Amino acid sequence: MKVAVVLASVAVVGAFALYGLGSEEASSPAVAAPGSPLVPVAPPSPELPVVPTPQPDPAASPIGDDLAASFQELSSGLDAQIGFAYAPLGQPDRVTLLGDWSSGPAWSTIKVPLALALLRETGTSSSAMQSAITVSDNAAAQSMWEQLGGGDAAAGKIEEVLAEAGNPATDVPSELRRAGFSIFGQTDWSLADQARFLARTACDPQAAPVTDLMGQIASGQQWGLGTIDGTYFKGGWGPGTDGLYLVRQFGVVPTPTGRVAVALAAVANSGAFGDGTTALSRIATWVQEHAGDLDAGECQVG
């Protein structure tokens, strides 16, 4: 069963980042606000996901040599494996993929389609949605999963949301894959599919209740995309079985020529959460520097 709900359009502009509390990502380490050192407090008891070997996305679009070379230069200067995907808002089929990392556990980024599935089910927003998105409360996310029926029922409803937004091949687990971590957080979600998802979803007014929450992210999560003014985003993170933290975000970024749906990820060679967030902030700086080079778009009206 795969029907998707698509995120709101229009002012998909704000700060889009989420706290990782509770089940999904494992209790998230505290992070200082932008401008201060990113020092994780006690590394969460996370959902130790395996960071898979990246595979090329066959649907990814070709990229300009200059942009690709610039991103490669950025990657070479970071002590981390990184990846970046983007698509013009309203044009989900025009995905561009850069970097060596391409897919892995969604962690708390899956809370966006989870919240959309519940919104579709109930027709109204809730405090659980607000907590799961704005502070990435894992207990709240777990309660939403249970409201959707848990197991196959909940997984199927989230898959419907993903499929309608151009992610028909993204499978949400229905059973526990890793002890100590949420079922849904272990969904394997590629950067290309995340960019595709937001390029379409961010243009659906019916998704506004969730999109608006993505613009109200707690201050402690303002690294990475949170350093770009007017950006809506959601983050997710957790350690792999090797102990190395995967840190990822996806969101909508304003540019001089329109808006861009983006997805980025980093696994620092040190394995530290803080080093991962620093890498994402470096990618965000690169995005700002090349905002005029990224294919941008706007939602189609009427």
> Could you please report the per-residue DSSP string of 17-43?
----BSTTTSSPPP-PPTTS----SSP
For the chain, domains (ranges, CATH) are 65-293 (3.40.710.10)
State residue 35's pLDDT score.
34
**What is the Cα gyration radius of the chain?**
17
Tens of pLDDT, residues 45-78: 344 343 344 444 444 444 557 999 999 999 999 9
- Which residues lie below 8 Å from residue 76, measured CB to CB, with a gap of 6+? none
State residue 300's pLDDT score.
87
> Other C-beta atoms within 10 Å of 74: how many?
20
Inform me whether the pLDDT recorded for 114 exceeds 50: yes
> Other C-beta atoms within 10 Å of 254: how many?
19
The percentage of residues in the chain with a pLDDT greater than 70, rounded to a whole number, is 78
Q: Which residue blocks in 165-203 are alpha helix, DSSP H?
A: 191-201
Query: Which pTM value belongs to this model?
Result: 0.81
Q: 232: part of which helix (H) or strand (E)?
A: strand 232-239
Tens of pLDDT, residues 222-248: 999 999 999 999 999 999 989 999 999
